Amino acid sequence: MRVQPSWRWPRNLGWTIWSLLGLCFLGTASVLATEPPAQWKIEWPNTDFSKTTIDLAEIRSGGPGKDGIPAIDQPRFVPLAEYAGTDGSEPVIGVTVGGQSRAYPLRILIWHEIVNDRLGGVPIAVTYCPLCNTAVVFDRRLGDRELDFGTTGNLRHSDMVMYDGPTESWWQQYGGEAIVGVLAGERLKILPSRLESLDEFRVRAPHSEVLVPNDPRFRNYGANPYVGYDRSALPFLYGGQLPQGIEPMMRVIAVGDTAWTLPLVRAAGSLRQDGLELRWTGGQRSALDGAQIAEGRVVGTVTVTRDGRDLPHVMTFAFAFFAFNPQGVLHTEEGPLRQAGRR
């Protein structure tokens, strides 16, 4: 069990401040090498840095330290029928496991990023990285182990690096692979989920539950600390190669190493390819736009199914898709896009 720190983000932190912070951290990124910095060894005495699947120079500080963004370990829920006071267009991560459904609002996840829960008898981790807009749900079981997760405060390719409590190995949220520590090379099972509006979740799971804050005063829930982020020209704290032929912050829907741009899916309404069906519906607001999530512009929802069953996928940004899928294919309104020279 992790102790939740008292550290707090400022009440309204705009994109201008994020940009200035990014310049500061980018300037320190070059000091990282394949050997971990001394500070890491002090802060992470139980992490085996001799075992890694990546170059440690790719990891940089996101600002907060270990558990500075506190995961939720004892989540609290209320019946959907009793849930009120939230705009129905706000985004939630909708999850169904073993016939049981729950919604995890981004108005909470944007401040905590990880919820360790149990749903339908399965231990799960519901995760959200605002900088990549990746909502991913994992099965917390690994063989005969049951893991719980927290935030390291570090980023790789601008994506959250998590850690597990038992071994303090570090895990990439995008893809669910352990990248540092004794479990390096292991991979978590990703469960199907939907990033959808509350109203859309309510229609398909009217008798379910919704995550609510344990203490409504702990954070400014409903506010967006990344104001204007998804309208910015460049990602935050990203030192990798930017994609060519596409705006880095273009929303894309990714299934493995294949993705489709949101404008392509939205224009078609429904796309079928390789047995998959991608379907766009309006109504869901961006969590990364306005000062209040309920004021964000409408971006819509995309579901990904095969034979009527939800498939694991992420709605992310183009830069993140190519950072983690350098040989991937992105389908755009102009045709398939690949990144020449990517390794």
Is 207 contained in some domain?
no
Is 135 contained in some domain?
yes
- Domain residues for the domain of 322 are 229-337
Give the tens place of pLDDT for each residue, 175-204: 999 999 999 999 999 999 999 999 999 999
Q: Do 187 and 286 share a structural domain?
A: no
Domain boundary among 191, 211, 244: 191
Q: Do 246 and 180 share a structural domain?
A: no
Is 203 contained in some domain?
no
The pLDDT value given to residue 341: 60
Q: How many angstroms separate the CA atoms of 258 and 157, rounded? A: 18
Q: Do 241 and 182 share a structural domain?
A: no
Which residues fall within 8 angstroms of residue 55, CB to CB, at 6 or more apart?
A: 34
Q: Which of 30, 26, 6 is nearest to 18 (CA)?
A: 26
Q: How many angstroms separate the CA atoms of 138 and 121, rounded? A: 14
Q: Do 233 and 156 share a structural domain?
A: no
Amino acid at 4: Q
Place 35 in a pLDDT band, splitting at 50, 70 and 90.
Answer: confident
Whether the model pTM is above 0.95: no
Amino acid at 55: D
3-state secondary structure of 284: coil
What is the enclosing helix (H) or strand (E) of 29?
none
- Residue 152: both structure tokens together: 């390291």
Place 3 in a pLDDT band, splitting at 50, 70 and 90.
Answer: very low
Is 206 contained in some domain?
no
Residue 10 predicted with pLDDT over 80 = no
* pLDDT average, residue stretch 96-103: 97
Domain boundary among 135, 169, 191: 191
* pLDDT average, residue stretch 336-341: 87
Q: Do 34 and 176 share a structural domain?
A: yes
Q: Do 268 and 147 share a structural domain?
A: no
Q: How many angstroms separate the CA atoms of 78 and 29, rounded? A: 43
Q: Do 20 and 76 share a structural domain?
A: yes
Q: Do 246 and 99 share a structural domain?
A: no
Domain boundary among 138, 172, 191: 191
Q: Do 185 and 94 share a structural domain?
A: yes
Q: How many angstroms separate the CA atoms of 301 and 68, rounded? A: 30
- Residue 276: both structure tokens together: 């998959």
CB 121 within 8 A of CB 78: no
Q: What is the residue-wise DSSP string for 196-233? A: EEHHHHHHH-TT-EEEE-SSTTSS-TTB-TTBTGGGSS
Q: Do 98 and 29 share a structural domain?
A: yes
* pLDDT average, residue stretch 322-332: 98
Q: Do 109 and 34 share a structural domain?
A: yes
Residue 153 predicted with pLDDT over 70 = yes
**Domain count within the chain:** 2
- Residue 216: both structure tokens together: 């409504």
The pLDDT value given to residue 340: 75
Give the tens place of pLDDT for each residue, 245-288: 999 999 999 999 999 999 999 999 999 999 999 999 999 999 99
Q: Do 238 and 184 share a structural domain?
A: no
Is 292 contained in some domain?
yes
Give the tens place of pLDDT for each residue, 122-148: 999 999 999 999 999 999 999 999 999
Q: How many angstroms separate the CA atoms of 343 and 222, rounded? A: 40
Is 53 contained in some domain?
yes
Mean pLDDT of the chain: 91
